[in-house]
Amino acid sequence: MRWVVMAVALLAAACGSQGQVSDDVFTPAHRTIAAAARDYFNVRPAAQQPIPFPHKTHLAKGAECTDCHETVEKGPIAGIPSVKTCMVCHSQIATTKPLIKEVTAYSDKGIDIPWQRVYGFSQEAHVRFNHAPHIRAKVECATCHGDLKQMTVAERAVDHTMGFCVNCHRQKNAPNDCLTCHY
């Protein structure tokens, strides 16, 4: 029987795109077996960004992470900035560069740039992560997100496994109750 399971798993893992199944009945489980298999093996597609956003360039010019990921100090989610945030500077700066023109075009149409999320927990992980307390505890952004000064497009530089979280919580004497994250 092992070959069957393996075959399904491999097939599923090889299949990069997310399946779209219209369900009439609500189910908390995975939408497809492929999705279940991918989740089990922690296989996730790399984010495909519409514009190769250069984190490196922005940080080199002295911008802070929180300048654009504004809500990181206020709530659970750091926030993917809206095109409005881009235009705060780029309505004036570097307006003639081709990529900035693309950004301006999005803004003119009133459409947000379809950035894809890089990090995040799957539903099944049952993790409720909140940025704000981590910022208050002065954890560097780079601890969990890697050194963005060296990256153009953000990549998943750090694997957010439970071991990774628990290690850091131990070192910093942060609570390690199950209910700290799983509730």
Partner 1 sequence: MDRRDFIKLTAVTGTSAALASCGNPEHQLIRFVPDEDITPGIAEWKPSVCPICSAGCGVNVRVMDADVRTVRSGQAGVVRMNVAKKLEGLPTDPISRGGLCARGQAAIQITYHPDRLAQPMKRDGARGSGSFKPISWDEAIAELVSKLDALDDRKALAIVTRPHRGNRDALFAAFAQRVGAPAPIAYELFSDDVLRHANAASYGKAQLPTYDLAKARYVVSFGADFLGTWGSVVAQNAAFGDMRQARPGVRGKLVQVESRMTTTGASADEWVPVKPGTEGVLALALAGKHDIADAEKITGVPAKKIERIAKELADQKPAVAIVGGPALAHTNALFTATAVNELNKALGGELLGFASHNAQLSTLSAQPFAALADAKLLLVDEANPVYGAPKAWKVREALEKIPYIASFSRFVDDTTAYADLILPDHSFLESWTDAAPESGSLDAKPISAGPVMKPIHDTRATADVLIAVAGKLKTPVELPWKNGEELAKSSQPSTVDRRQANPAPPSAGRQPTEWTDPHFDGAASDYPMHFLPYASPAFGDGSTAHLPWLQELPDPLTSAMWSSWIEINPKTAEQMGIADGDLVDVTSSQGTLRVPAVVFPGIAPDIVAMPVGQGHEHYTRYASKRGANAASLLAPVTEPETGTLAWAATRVKIARAGDADGSLILFAGEKYEKPHDHETR
Given the rule CB under 8 A, which residues bind partner 1? 1, 4-5, 7-8, 11-12, 15, 17-21, 32-35, 37, 71, 74-77, 79, 82-84, 107, 110-112, 114, 130
The CB-of-111 to partner 1 minimum distance in angstroms stands at 6
Query: Shortest distance, CB of residue 78 to partner 1, whole angstroms?
Result: 9
User: Toward partner 1, which CB reaches closer, 74 or 170?
Assistant: 74
- Angle at CA of residue 165, ends 163 and 167, nearest 5°: 65
**Gyration radius of the chain over CA positions:** 20
Angle at CA of residue 82, ends 79 and 84, nearest 5°: 140
Please state, as a whole number, how many other Cβ atoms lie within 10 Å of the Cβ of residue 37: 19
Q: How far is the CB of 112 from partner 1 (least distance, A)?
A: 4
Is residue 76 within 8 Å of residue 129, measured between CB atoms?
yes
What is the closest distance, in whole angstroms, from the C-beta atom of residue 77 to partner 1 in the complex?
4
Toward partner 1, which CB reaches closer, 32 or 49?
A: 32
Q: Which residue has the tokens 């609570």?
A: 175
